[in-house]
Structure 1
Amino acid sequence: MKNRLITLFIVSLGIAGTNAQNHLTLWYKSPAKAWEEALPVGNGRLGAMIFGDTQKERIQFNENTLYSGEPETPKNINIVPDLAHIRQLLGEGKNAEAGTIMQEKWIGRLNEAYQPFGDLYIDFDSKEAVTDYMHSLDMENAVVTTSYKQNGVDISREVFASYPAQAIVIHLKSSKPVLNFTAYLASPHPVTKESDSQVVYLKGQAPAHAQRRDTDHMKRFNTQRLHPEYFDASGHIIQKKQVIYGNEMDGKGTFFEACLLPTHKGGQLSISDNQITARNCSEVTLMLYAATSYNGPRKSPSKEGKNPHQAIMNYRRISEGETYKELKRQHTTDYQALFNRVSFDLPANKQQKELPTDERLKRFKDEEDQALIAQLFQFGRYLMIAGSRGEGQPLNLQGLWNDQILPPWNSGYTLNINLEMNYWPAEVTNLSECHQPLFKLIEEIADKGKDLARDMYGLNGWAIHHNISIWREAYPSDGFVYWFFWNMSGPWLCNHLWEHYLFTKDANFLKKYYPILKGAATFCSEWLVENSKGELVTPVSTSPENAYLMGDHTPASVCEGSTMDIAIIRSLFSNTIQAAEILQTDMDFRSELIKKRNKLKKYQIGSKGQLLEWDKEYKESEPQHRHVSHLFGLYPGCDITDSTPEVFKAARKSLDDRGNKTTGWSMAWKISLWSRLYDSSNAYEALSNLINYIDPHMKAENRGGLYRNLLNALPFQIDGNFGATAGITEMLLQSHKGNIHLLPALPSTWKEGNIKGLKARGGFTVDMEWKEGKITVANITSPYEQTVEIVYNNSIKKTHFNAGERKKISF
């Protein structure tokens, strides 16, 4: 018996070691000390952050329809009466004066905020010391595990968010029946708690309004008229609360409900005082369900909302009576059907493999850890599957995960780069289905945007501005004109519709979404005007969140036809023209767009050889600004390539001037930009700058990095993760020029590796292996009969594929 126990102990150590060193496992020797360090799980609707504490575990959870507020009230902003005057001022070189008028008259109010739902606490009776502690995220199975020994007993718990079961599943297990704990639900919102003999309920209502600005900020922006919650008709303050609940605002706000359902083996389980108590159990499974009354962006969740209790009962029926083993099997099968499509291996030395993830991250600057880079790539794919599934909401600034009532930037959707960046990896890393929630959002904003185009601009088609929430607020937000007045969000998002078609060749999809492409193109077509040179430009524009200096050093940000505006419209027109040709429709409209596309203002090159950002060359007020909006045509657009050498060179000069040290999402964007320039050295520098350990407890310089869980830091904003995954892909594979370009920006230090399952436009699946920096094997599969040029290291092979054919490509 003694020998058998020793053998089992050795086997358990071996399993633990294997999991720790698995290249798809992030692992740690201590629990998270801050929310930013916890490990995320999600099923596209429900998300949770697991801390891994051995005395009092905290599992903070979200449901992605829980926002403050209700459908927006139109702001009655009409630019038409001022437009001619603004254009006149711009023509006279009075850009700052034009911006002042826009700041006063065209400003809106901030969007509502994504809300935390609640917390599950598991308070363990035993507070004694533990050994052999490990807290890990297994990305291959999408399971967070916390394991340790206490009083000689092996204790573990597994947490995953099941898409099939629509629940967060928590399984606790011990080698002896010593599980003694109390589990209960809590929320940062006012709630009531109920229970019966089977379950514990948590019920509440989200804020009727959550306002990140205080009244001083509202006065500063002169938006008192837009905030009846805080100011009366004469502009006097009536209250200052930044979070207002329904009992003070006509009962408004989204209702929410959570349910905790336990089962157990051994010992006793009881429910009293709205808590679950376990005594001397060997296994306990907790099923956490959550739902809200959200019923679409146009319906009041308090008056026309869904019944969250009924939704929970429906979710409970899905997996009623199933064992934990079966729940986990279904979850793993579902998840791996997506995740396992792509594998990526870069080598690590033995010492690196034996270190926990946070130590590897801290040491990255001293010694490159290529396997950690591969983990970061796969972590982005893991987060995509966890945060964006089915008909649910798309990933916001924090993805699916937020613990604050007033989160950074309202944890909303910022459409001038951040939302789009979230979905850059979707098609190329073989997660096309995860793109679907974004398409649903585009449908909803196109619907809202028709009213906006008519009422604010007096134009047809549809448009929307740069900050929205689940309520799809169409009007400008507050702040300064150089960020709130930007109406190219819709055209940029339409690029995702076209990209999905390019990767899938799904004609039914294109037919469904063509009216949305056409609507955005209609607005842009009507919005364009001729400049003094007879070129078509947007009459009033900004370059997102950036400003410049006039000749007298006066700050300004408004101009006629910024580079990004024209680049996005050129892309939209080209995509819409091609879509109409494929669908054999709208010949007259197609002809009109072709004529207007040909008249669009061309790219301009400045005195230093740089690509100009605005309508003319101004002095930059912040030469290393985080946004590089004028490089849209390089990436994610594709009309700046080595086929346009002068503009290609100017883009390189602009990118070089901006530098590679900035916020996380900006560095992530630059990985792809440098890759499109075939500059592997700078692409790698941007990537390695991002792999910079950030301690959430310490003050750090305002540049990006990663928390120990690899989430994009300062503060947590998830777009940096997705941008990094997309950027690494661009280093290894590009297909935007109608060809398949293998290893276009492979870093010189990545001597060997392999990646399988990447997607190229045309629906191709690409597998590659390389040694000594050169391809040894490239296998490409085409779902359709088609011919494509395959490019590698200045060699081109024109290759014909039959439908379903897989070919080995040699160079």
Structure 2
Amino acid sequence: MQSNSFHKLLLVFIFSLFCKEAVAQSTNVLWYKQPAEFFEESLVLGNGKMGATVFGGVESDKIYLNDITLWSGEPVNANMSPEAYKNIPAIREALKNESYKLAEELNKKVQGKNSESYQPLGTMEINNFHTGKASNYHRELDISNAISKVSYEIEGVKYTREYFVSAPDQIMVIKLTSSKKGTLNFDIHSSSLLTSNSEVKNNQLTMTGFAPIHENAGYSVPLLFLAQKERGTRFTNLIKIKNTDGVIVSSANSLGLKDGTEALIYVSVATSFNGFDKNPATEGVNDKVTASTNLDKAFAKSFDKLKQSHIADYQKFYNRVSLNLGKTTAPDLPTDERLLRYADGNEDKNLEILYFQYGRYLLISSSRTLGVPANLQGLWNPHLHAPWSSNYTMNINLEENYWLAENTNLSEMHLPLLSFIKNLSVTGKVTAKTFYGVDKGWAAAHNSDIWAMTNPVGQFGKEDPMWACWPIAGAWLSTHIWEHYVFTGDKNYLKNEGYPLMKGAAEFCLDWLVVDKNGNLITSPSTSPENQYLAPDGFVGATMYGGTADLAMIRECFDKTIKASKVLDIDTDFRGKLEEALVKLYPYQIGKKGNLQEWYFDWDDKDPRHRHQSQLFGLFPGDHITPLKTPELANAAKKTLEIKGDETTGWSKGWRINLWARLWDGNRAYKMFRELLRYVDPDGKKTEKPRRGGGTYPNLFDAHPPFQIDGNFGGAAAVAEMLVQSNENEIRLLPALPDAWESGSVKGICARGGFEISMEWEGKKLKTVSVFSKNGGKTELINGDKKQIITVKKGQKLKINW
């Protein structure tokens, strides 16, 4: 009898374990029951320079290859329009006379060339010689180790593929296996949309080619391929097979394996890019030697050794942060089905964690090349004509890519942007002088590219000033320098590199400001990025003076430059000028609707629900508008968000979630976070009832649409912002915690002042908090009405039962 009871208990225990497993939704794995048919279903890998987009097909496995340094063009001629600045006085005069239409036309005279385009390197195809139909197909990406896998069975034989792109070895490795000896048969082809040549020699598949020289005169202009030896970025792609058995076979342009059981494919890519100011053809890196050296070194190593060093390198970044949002009852489903279920309003806390961690994964994978930050598509572009040239759009998108760098403990991934800002300051000095007539400092405009182009775009007068004419990117970007300092405490960086760049951005702004009729400092001409006003006479335009966005960014730029000058105890005279100018800036205005005015006057927007909310910069990512310090302005910001509504594109929604978090409205932020994860069908997929618009594609890429990575980064940053907010003196714990995240824990979120936060909460109440200090220091912890000042020594952790 006792034995019978024991067996029953054992069965109940085993069944409970099985049930638990059945609902154990992963926070680290994207998986699918079928290969990718479209780019927006593929799984992406990257080491910060080389990118791979894996489709995981059965008969044919297509893999797009990218190198983050492969762009069209060559070093920019910053002095392209040496007398453009001579138009500025006439524009200012027209604005002074309230002749907005004339000012709009004149503003077109202050335009230069458009940016160059990020290019696709090539496609490799692994053609598998199978007979029979595949079953038990499984495709996954494990973001905890940055490894993708495919497995399936055909006629009793199990086939597997494992893929990763290693940063330590600068190589992509693919391991193919079959469970039955001699059943692995495949060949590999390489192709490129760019001018290229493929050949096989000594059992190595080599593809070489070059990027075009062209000025992108619009987003759909045919590329001009110029086969000139002295111009254009070169690239090399090398592929080699290491076999344990079977025979390596080849043709004129393919490489393969016959009758094998296990094989490794090594993929190496390189370009001749050698810096923003070096001709990639005549002063370039030898891409053939680079690719060959990386391949030979990696080829000499075993798969296990390569994999081990790849994982160790990746996890030292990824493992810094963990998040738990409490119990979930969501069933274990493939990621595409999981998204669909979530879009119907169902709970899936682990999907929310997966999305957050996927944002961190993408940043680690796309931002490790100094001077070359993640672009509009991060690293993964399959298009010859990429959407918006997959460039650096600096009136929000480039900056949003880096909102999660410091607070989600990926400070090293911020360095490609910070070093890019240094490049911009070089060309930007010329731009400041020739386009704006400002002799001091540096300026940058709406778009840039790998060549650190800083001029206003618009094809020399052919395009709309509402997006083409905007010189305030330097002010915005300079705040990233302060963020890096205040999170890390790296005073050497601030002194030797950061502060001179901040000062240069501030110097430009100081000289660019003019006095209005009331004695306030304003910008003229001014635009509010990509938005248009509706003047009382019915004129719709963008060129204006004293735009709120300009002044918000300049406020933030001046404020942070002043702080940096105090930290370093230098430049007291210049600091005084900034302090004086700050007081004289045209103050924020609250409009008749209770909103924060976007324009100098209380005029309506042409589109009241416009995706840009640049006038709210002071609330986020800036910090000079807060519910405590400036309650009236915070309420006006809230009213502005309410007027704009919640329905918008991916990156814009990412920004709005952060704004609601800064207003300490966790439930509104969470509502929009859920909307960011709304399932969207791949762009090319034809269905009876297609799900289109902004949201998230099956592979968790952000649907702008089309794909733009900034929504992923902005959404991930917002999760951290809901849990921890900070400035130099205080850390707010759970400031925008939504009801849905009633219980949970987080480890490794960073706060300003060089602190790392780990905490647990239950029933929306903070239970314990641990504060680790990188540099040693004092801060004030705030949760609700409770405050506590703490001092932590360098390298120590303080645990508090709240």
Normalised by the length of structure 1, the TM-score is 0.92
- Count of aligned positions: 769
C-alpha deviation, 1:737, in angstroms: 6.5
The Cα of 1:94 is off from its aligned counterpart by: 1.8
Q: 1:475 aligns with which of 450, 455, 461?
A: 455
Name the amino acid aligned to 1:476.
Answer: P
Q: Where in structure 1 do 4 or more consecutive aligned residues deviate above 4 Å?
A: 17-21, 698-702
Alignment of 1:209 with 2:214, yes or no, is: yes
Equivalences for residues 196-345 of structure 1 within 5 A:
196-209=201-214, 211=216, 213=218, 242-247=222-227, 252-345=231-324
Deviates most, 651-660 or 297-306: 297-306
CA distance in 2, matches of 1:30, 1:46: 25
Deviates more, 1:800-809 or 1:664-673: 800-809
Query: Is the 8 Å Cα contact of residues 229 and 281 (structure 2) preserved in structure 1?
Result: no
Instruction: Quote how far apart the aligned CAs of 1:612 are.
Output: 0.5
SS of corresponding position for 1:502: helix
Shift of 1:590: 1.2
1:486 matched to 2:465: no
Give the counterpart of 2:681 among 695, 708, 715. 695
- The structural deviation recorded for 1:604 is 0.8
Give 2:115's match in structure 1, choosing from 95, 111, 115: 111
Q: 1:445 to 1:88 in 2, by over 3 A?
A: same
Per the alignment, residue 124 of structure 2 pairs with 120
Deviation at residue 423 of structure 1 after TM alignment: 0.3
User: Residue type of the partner of 1:806?
Assistant: K
* In structure 2, C-alpha distance between the alignment counterparts of 1:81 and 1:396, rounded to whole Å: 33
Q: Which residue in the other structure is 1:409 paired with?
A: 388
Q: 2:577 aligns with which of 589, 592, 602?
A: 592
SS in 2 for 1:525: helix
* TM alignment of 1:125-136, pairs within 5 A: 125-136=129-140
Following superposition, the deviation at residue 19 of structure 1 comes to: 13
The match for 1:92 is 97
**Structure 1 715/127 Cα, relative in aligned 2: closer, same or farther at 3 Å?**
farther
Quote the offset at 1:702 in angstroms.
Answer: 6.8
CA distance in 2, matches of 1:538, 1:314: 52
How many Å apart are 1:427 and its aligned residue? 0.3
Stretch of structure 1 that moved more, 542-551 or 553-562? 553-562
Could you say which residue in structure 2 is the equivalent of 1:139? 143
Counterparts of 1:353 and 1:79 in 2: how far apart (Å)? 61
| 1:353 Cα offset (Å) | 4.0
- Name which of 541, 545, 549 aligns with 1:560: 545
- Unaligned 5+ residue runs, structure 1? 1-13, 218-240
Query: Which stretch shows the higher mean deviation, 314-323 or 712-721?
Result: 314-323
1:760-799 residue pairs with structure 2 within 5 A? 760-799=751-790
Deviation of 1:211 after TM superposition, in Å, equals 3.3
Structure 2, unpaired ranges of 5+: 1-17
Contact 2:23–2:332 (CA<8 Å) still a contact in 1?
no
Q: Which amino acid aligns with 1:588?
A: D
Is the counterpart of residue 508 in structure 1 residue 513 in structure 2?
Answer: no
TM-aligned CA distance change 1:748 to 1:94, over 3 Å:
same
SS at match of 1:401: coil
Give the counterpart of 1:436 among 415, 420, 423.
415
Residue correspondence of structure 1 range 355-370 to structure 2 within 5 A: 355-366=333-344, 367-370=346-349
Secondary structure in 1 aligned to 2:267?
A: strand
| Distance apart, 1:306 and its partner CA | 1.9
Q: Distance between the aligned counterparts of 2:300 and 2:412, measured in 1?
A: 30
Please report how far the alpha carbon of residue 493 of structure 1 lies from its aligned counterpart in structure 2 after TM superposition. Answer: 0.7
Contact 1:549 1:556 in 2 (8 A): yes
Counterparts of 2:763 and 2:24 in 1: how far apart (Å)? 29
Distance in structure 2 (CA, Å) of the matches to 1:733 and 1:181: 51
- Distance in structure 1 (CA, Å) of the matches to 2:257 and 2:523: 66
- Per-residue CA deviation, residues 63-98 of structure 1 (Å, 9 max, x unaligned), is 011111222234315343222222222122222321
Q: Which of 724, 732, 753 in structure 2 is aligned with 1:733?
A: 724
Distance in 2 between residues matched to 1:407 and 1:359, nearest whole Å:
28
2:150 partner amino acid = T
**Secondary structure of the residue that 1:405 maps to in structure 2?**
coil
- Opposite residue 618 of structure 1, the aligned amino acid is W
Comparing 293-302 with 518-527, which one deviates more in the overlay? 293-302
Which amino acid in 2 is paired with 1:411? S
The Cα offsets for residues 326-366 of structure 1, whole Å up to 9 and x where unpaired, read as 1100000000000000011224645x341111111011132
| Separation in structure 2 between the aligned mates of residue 138 and residue 180 of structure 1, nearest angstrom | 27
Is residue 486–residue 728 contact of structure 2 (8 Å, CA) maintained in 1? Answer: no
**2:365 & 2:22 partners in 1: Cα distance?**
24
8 Å contact kept, 1:346–1:753: yes
Show the counterpart of 1:236.
Answer: none
SS in 1 for 2:173: strand
Q: 1:221 corresponds to which residue? A: none
Q: Aligned ranges for residues 577-656 of structure 1 at < 5 Å?
A: 577-642=562-627, 643-656=629-642
CA drift at 1:41: 0.2
Checking the alignment, whether the CA contact within 8 Å between 2:200 and 2:255 is kept in structure 1 is no
What's the counterpart of residue 12 of structure 2?
A: none
Which residue number corresponds to residue 696 of structure 2? 706
Give 1:481's aligned amino acid.
Answer: P
Match 2:791 to one of 790, 800, 803: 800
After superposition, give the CA deviation of every residue in 1:194-220 in whole Å (9 maximum; x if it has no partner): 222231100111112263628xx9xxx
Structure 1 residues 510 and 763 mapped into 2: Cα distance closer, same or farther (>3 Å)?
Answer: same
Output the CA distance in 2 between the equivalents of 1:428 and 1:422.
13
Q: Taking structure 1 as reference, are residues 701 and 77 closer, same or farther at Cα in structure 2, changes over 3 Å only?
A: farther
**Who is 1:102 aligned against?**
107
* Alpha-carbon contact 2:370-2:415 (below 8 Å) kept: yes
Other structure's SS at 2:582 match: helix
Shift of 1:473: 1.6
Q: Match for residue 9 of structure 1?
A: none
Following superposition, the deviation at residue 272 of structure 1 comes to 3.0
- Check conservation: 1:529, 1:537, Cα contact below 8 A: yes
Q: Which of 91-100 and 62-71 deviates more?
A: 91-100
Quick one: structure 1 residues 657 and 702, their matched pair in 2 at CA, closer, same or farther if it must change by over 3 Å? farther
Percent sequence identity over aligned pairs? 41
Deviation digits for residues 428-460 of structure 1 (CA, Å, limit 9, x no counterpart): 000000111111111111011111112222211
Q: Is residue 208–residue 251 contact of structure 1 (8 Å, CA) maintained in 2?
A: no
CA-atom RMSD in angstroms:
1.9
